[in-house]
Amino acid sequence: MDDDPSVLKALARLLKARGIEVRTYGSARDFLTSLPDGRPECLVVDLQMPEMTGLELQRHLIRTGIRIPTIVITAHNEGEMRELCKSMGASDFLSKPLQDTSLLAAIDKATRIDARDRRARNAEDDEP
């Protein structure tokens, strides 16, 4: 999710070439509108977007109980913001321009951790 169409196109091309299903959104509102269609395995979201920032989206998802592994991307690498996003549950925080290998590694890590956590929650639910 990014408000820059060229970034969306480049990310989609990279991920599709790696066999990853991709849906792109130009805003947090567009993404939230699509949630009834299914929860993504991972969310890559730009920190600085108009209307609702990546951090505001992350807060909204947490408040509503929606757990999606989230990777925050930004052209403004601020240490404080990195720590704030991580404390809000971001799986990773990457600076633009993105390195393909770093993004792919972050997505792999986020989805593996999420799958492990879901298995653990399901096992707890199954206990008598």
Rounded mean pLDDT, 91-95 = 93
pLDDT at residue 74, as a whole number: 92
pLDDT at residue 116, as a whole number: 86
Whether cis (ω within 30° of 0) applies to the bond prior to 5 is no
**CB burial of residue 11 (10 Å; 0-12, 13-18, 19+):** buried
Does domain 5-126 fall under CATH 3.40.50.2300? My reply is: yes
Are 55 and 88 a contacting pair, CB within 8 Å?
yes
Residue 124 binned pLDDT confidence (cut-offs 50, 70, 90) = confident
pLDDT at residue 123, as a whole number: 78
Range picked from 13-17, 48-52, 66-70, 78-82 for highest mean pLDDT? 13-17
- Delimit the domains of the chain by residue range: 5-126
| pLDDT over 70 (residue 127) | no
Residue type, 77: N
pLDDT at residue 128, as a whole number: 64
Q: What percent of the chain has pLDDT over 90?
A: 66
∠ CA(116), CA(122), CA(127), 5° rounding?
130
Are 46 and 54 a contacting pair, CB within 8 Å?
yes
